[in-house]
């Protein structure tokens, strides 16, 4: 398993104290964890002595209200990762289509549950945008499940809801399920044009995966949820999921959701301004192509000869900066990396460090 | 899923504030969570912003030292529940033997992974002790996996290591795996006569499941681990497990393990004294049979006519006491329930309440 955010491994491998690392490899909201979560954790420490509610009733009630869903259609998991695994276990696909490049856990979960995988390659010439008509052409009776990631990781590209509906209609004709991972959708201000949350009730072959991990800056808490109108899917997840999958604190996260409207606004304000500013600065750097991001992370291609991500990663680590090497994404190469958008000071530091790291003449410095 | 400790459900169903409930249904150390865990959680709140170490290297290192295991043989999970699921996914059994009565999650996990299940009934006339020769007789080439729980839940009965070795030898002849859930073994002072931890290296067909849940009073933290010398099992778990399965706090639990020697001593002292005292008081109550427990929970049979666990549970709930109805354990009936051993004051309160609840003449009181 190779993912971003593996600061513990970097610490072991390079002997860099993880607390000194600036982790651009993990796409987490730089506002940090909400204050109300800190209070909640301190309040609920003694409750670790009790089993969490095995049905997570309160949490599901609040999620249903917050996102205007029906509570019976919701299931929760120990991070979006478990939601993905549980959904795939319920669908039991034999043949699935996934995007390339995309988040690697879909393939891992599919293979683990006995599904074969076909790749639908996103093309560099289209800036890695999905051409829905191509994907629709690939769906036939042999396909049990199509997995989309919207916005897609690591490309940071969105798929419009209208196009998703066309894909869903084609899927329906072939008894094919569509699973859409919307783990980063909370960062999208005009999400009603992209998210299927509002329209999920119309589709019996749709499963949506969501997470609080990225938006609320809590990858260490482990909390995701799934939505499906399909009663068999919900029943199967309920029958097969590992019990008590959320820890006590995650089980109470609904309270944070209700009290952090300001955090949401602050996040929107930061991302709206800083995405524009940071991308502009990055675009001025010679030797890289910046793919315009839709959310809080950016895919970048190195277009300079003799520089690849191995070199860049090593050089940036010497400046205590960690980037996400994207060479292990199917469909990408040693020329690609991904970074998170952070606060202006850290982003400026990144720009300066990247300019230096891209410069051949500094080769001696890095020896 | 019906388990003990479902205080949230009781709160919803009976409109009793869960904080007023005395929960004898969940077998948790009454000493409460260790002080060092409270400190650790407060210290590490900010670290929720980082992904936990995907390999949980520090935790595994400490577990290996603490229990004298080889680190490479350890895998961790989101509670013993995930360890059980991951182990079964790795073994991929088609036919398995489980005890009856026993913890219900083995069967659930087995069925979820496509295994058929045979029950090996523990007999009331033997006080629900396992007769290993009977079990050995049932193992043949058709059996892929045998699951034991030692001490067994809900009977609180131990199986001697010498007998387990005989079972393992028979399993070996038939290429059968043995999974032993030792979730309550930390409560056993002379565990070297029962636990397979010391001898696990000798058996390639053995998987041991352990948990910190019960001993350290932390069912809300979610933390268990598995041990196997079989490299294929370890590799399969590593390939198939859900990533980041432990939350940040659970990932640091090793630090608690190292600093809580006094907690362990206190627990032994409490259990040694209180088990004897509580069982003696219970044994004096008319109309019940108390099965002598090996650890911190007790199986009890109602031998009075016209009283069953439904009546008793309702009556005790009126005293804000929750017991574990054992009628849904295969091999038991409406006459059985399980209680945890708590501190002397609560145990005495339980004895008084049980005496009253068993009394017919008080029927009016409960109407």
pLDDT of residue A359: 87
Backbone dihedral angles phi then psi of residue B346, each to the nearest 5 degrees: -70, -40
Q: Quote the distance between the C-alpha of residue B127 and its chain's center.
A: 19
Q: How far is A50 from chain B (nearest CA, A)?
A: 6
The verdict on A233 and A85 lying in the same domain is: yes
Within-domain flag for B131: yes
Cβ–Cβ under 8 Å, residues A199 and A168: no
The verdict on B239 and B343 lying in the same domain is: no
Measured distance CA(A56)–CA(A60) in Å, rounded: 6
pLDDT of residue A364: 53
- Read off the pLDDT of each residue in A211-225 and give the average, rounded to a whole number: 96
Average pLDDT, chain A: 95
pLDDT of residue A51: 94
In degrees, rounded to 5, the angle at the alpha carbon of residue B197 between the alpha carbons of residues B193 and B199 is 80
Confidence of residue A366 (pLDDT cuts 50, 70, 90): low
Within-domain flag for B145: yes
pLDDT of residue A360: 63
Task: Count residue pairs from A and B with Cβ separation < 8 A.
Answer: 174
Q: How far is B338 from chain A (nearest CA, A)?
A: 17
Q: Which residue has the higher pLDDT, B1 or B331?
A: B331
CA distances from residue B211 to B31, B64, B102 in whole angstroms, order as listed:
17, 14, 17
Confidence of residue B5 (pLDDT cuts 50, 70, 90): confident
CA distances from residue B20 to B139, B279, B317, B319, B343 in whole angstroms, order as listed:
47, 25, 11, 10, 16
Question: Which residues in chain B are closer than 8 Å to A240, comparing Cβ atoms?
Answer: 112
Euclidean distance between the first and the last CA atom of chain A, given in angstroms as a whole number: 30
Within-domain flag for A114: yes
Crossing angle (nearest 10°) for helices A261-283 and A344-358: 20
Q: How far is B132 from chain A (nearest CA, A)?
A: 30
Nearest Cα to B247, choosing from B50, B60, B8? B50
CA distances from residue A255 to A288, A365, B127, B277 in whole angstroms, order as listed:
43, 50, 47, 43
Q: Which of B259, B284, B299 is the last residue of a domain?
A: B259
Cβ–Cβ under 8 Å, residues B193 and A215: no
DSSP type of residue B122:
P
The verdict on B207 and B76 lying in the same domain is: yes
- B22: helix, coil or strand? strand
Q: What is the token pair recorded at B130?
A: 């396992």
Q: What is the CATH number of the domain that holds A126?
A: 3.40.640.10
Confidence of residue B66 (pLDDT cuts 50, 70, 90): very high
Place of tokens 């860099």: A16
The 10s digit of each residue's pLDDT in A250-290 is: 999 999 999 999 999 999 999 999 999 999 999 999 999 99
The verdict on B138 and B183 lying in the same domain is: yes
Crossing angle (nearest 10°) for helices B231-240 and A105-112: 130
- Read off the pLDDT of each residue in B114-141 and give the average, rounded to a whole number: 98
Cβ–Cβ under 8 Å, residues B248 and B42: no
Average pLDDT, chain B: 95
- Read off the pLDDT of each residue in B37-42 and give the average, rounded to a whole number: 97
Measured distance CA(A58)–CA(A210) in Å, rounded: 18
Give the count of alpha carbons within 13 A of B204, CB side only: 6
Q: How far is B248 from chain A (nearest CA, A)?
A: 5
The verdict on B67 and B156 lying in the same domain is: yes
Please say if the pLDDT value at position A365 is more than 70: no
pLDDT of residue A37: 97
pLDDT of residue B252: 97
pLDDT of residue B239: 95
Of A1, A239, A243, the CB nearest to B243: A1
Q: Which of B197, B231, B259 is the last residue of a domain?
A: B259
- A205: helix, coil or strand? coil
Share of chain A above pLDDT 90, in %: 92
The verdict on A183 and A232 lying in the same domain is: yes
The 10s digit of each residue's pLDDT in B228-271 is: 999 999 999 999 999 999 999 999 999 999 999 999 999 999 99
Q: What is the CATH number of the domain that holds B14?
A: 3.90.1150.10
- Read off the pLDDT of each residue in A294-300 and give the average, rounded to a whole number: 98
**Sheet of A224-228, strands arranged across:** A74-77, A224-228, A206-211, A177-181, A145-149, A95-100, A116-121
Confidence of residue B304 (pLDDT cuts 50, 70, 90): very high
Domain count for chain B, please give it: 2
The 10s digit of each residue's pLDDT in B210-223 is: 999 999 999 999 99
Cβ–Cβ under 8 Å, residues A106 and A181: yes
Q: What is the token pair recorded at B245?
A: 């399965």
The verdict on B45 and B139 lying in the same domain is: yes
DSSP type of residue A53:
P
pLDDT of residue B15: 87
Please say if the pLDDT value at position A362 is more than 80: no
Beta carbons within 10 angstroms of residue B74's beta carbon? 21
Q: Which of B259, B280, B309 is the last residue of a domain?
A: B259
Put simply, the answer to whether B222 touches A26 (Cβ < 8 Å) is: no
Of A47, A108, A219, the CB nearest to B220: A47
Q: What is the token pair recorded at A254?
A: 């609904």
The 10s digit of each residue's pLDDT in A111-143 is: 999 999 999 999 999 999 999 999 999 999 999
Confidence of residue B2 (pLDDT cuts 50, 70, 90): confident
Nearest Cα to B146, choosing from B114, B120, B173, B127? B120
Within-domain flag for A1: no
pLDDT of residue B364: 54
- A194: helix, coil or strand? coil
The verdict on B228 and B251 lying in the same domain is: yes
The verdict on A226 and A302 lying in the same domain is: no
Domain encompassing residue A26: 7-32+261-360
Q: How far is B13 from chain A (nearest CA, A)?
A: 12
Q: What is the pTM of this model?
A: 0.95
The verdict on B29 and B55 lying in the same domain is: no
Put simply, the answer to whether B51 touches A250 (Cβ < 8 Å) is: no
- Read off the pLDDT of each residue in B79-99 and give the average, rounded to a whole number: 98
pLDDT of residue A180: 98
- Read off the pLDDT of each residue in A199-206 and give the average, rounded to a whole number: 98
- B171: helix, coil or strand? helix
CA distances from residue B116 to A92, B119, B122 in whole angstroms, order as listed:
18, 10, 19
Cβ–Cβ under 8 Å, residues A86 and B246: no
Confidence of residue B4 (pLDDT cuts 50, 70, 90): confident
Strands (E) across B140-255 are located at: 145-149, 177-181, 206-211, 224-228
Nearest Cα to A18, choosing from A321, A313, A356? A321
Within-domain flag for B1: no
Contacts with A19 (C-beta within 8 Å, 6 or more apart), sequence order? none
Nearest CA in chain A to B114: A240
The verdict on B144 and B21 lying in the same domain is: no
Nearest CA in chain A to B31: A49
The 10s digit of each residue's pLDDT in B314-326 is: 999 999 999 999 9
Give the count of alpha carbons within 13 A of A244, CB side only: 31
Chosen for mutation from B5, B29, B244 (greatest number of chain A CBs closer than 10 Å) is B244
Of A5, A243, A246, the CB nearest to B1: A243
The verdict on B67 and B144 lying in the same domain is: yes
- Read off the pLDDT of each residue in A47-62 and give the average, rounded to a whole number: 96
Beta carbons within 10 angstroms of residue B137's beta carbon? 11
Of B28, B48, B245, the CB nearest to A220: B48
pLDDT of residue A329: 97
């Amino acid at each position: 398993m190779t993912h971003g955010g593996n600061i513990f491994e970097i610490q072991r491998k390079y002997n860099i104290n993880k607390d000194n690392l600036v982790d651009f490899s993990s796409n987490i909201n730089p506002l940090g964890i909400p204050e109300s979560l800190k209070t909640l954790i301190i309040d609920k420490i003694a409750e670790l002595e009790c089993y969490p509610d095995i049905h997570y009733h309160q949490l599901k009630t609040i999620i249903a209200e917050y996102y205007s869903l029906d509570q019976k259609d919701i299931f929760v998991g120990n991070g979006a990762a478990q939601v993905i695994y549980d959904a795939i276990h319920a669908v039991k696909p034999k043949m699935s289509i996934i995007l390339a490049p995309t988040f690697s856990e879909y393939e891992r979960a599919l293979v683990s549950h006995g599904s074969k995988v076909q790749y639908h390659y996103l093309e560099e010439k289209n800036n890695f945008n999905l051409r829905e008509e191509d994907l629709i052409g690939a769906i036939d009776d042999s396909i049990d499940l199509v997995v989309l990631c919207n916005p897609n990781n690591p490309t940071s590209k969105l798929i419009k809801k209208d196009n998703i509906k066309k894909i869903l209609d084609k899927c329906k004709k072939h008894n094919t399920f569509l699973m859409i991972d919307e783990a980063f959708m909370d960062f999208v201000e005009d999400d009603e044009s992209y998210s299927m949350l509002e329209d999920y009730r119309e589709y019996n072959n749709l499963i949506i995966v969501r997470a609080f991990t990225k938006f609320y800056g809590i990858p260490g808490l482990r909390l995701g949820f799934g939505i499906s109108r399909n009663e068999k899917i919900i029943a199967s997840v309920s029958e097969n999921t590992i019990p008590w999958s959320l820890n006590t604190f995650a089980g109470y996260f609904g309270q944070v959701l209700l009290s952090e409207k300001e955090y949401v606004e602050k996040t929107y304000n930061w991302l709206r301004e800083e995405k524009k500013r940071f991308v502009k600065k990055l675009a001025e750097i010679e030797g890289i192509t910046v793919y315009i991001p839709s959310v809080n992370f950016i895919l970048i291609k190195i277009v300079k000869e003799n520089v690849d991500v191995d070199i860049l990663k090593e050089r940036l680590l010497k400046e205590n900066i960690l980037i996400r090497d994207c060479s292990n994404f199917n469909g990408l190469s040693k020329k690609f990396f991904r970074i998170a958008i952070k606060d202006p000071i850290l982003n400026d530091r990144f720009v300066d460090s990247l300019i230096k790291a891209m410069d051949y003449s500094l080769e001696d410095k890095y020896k």
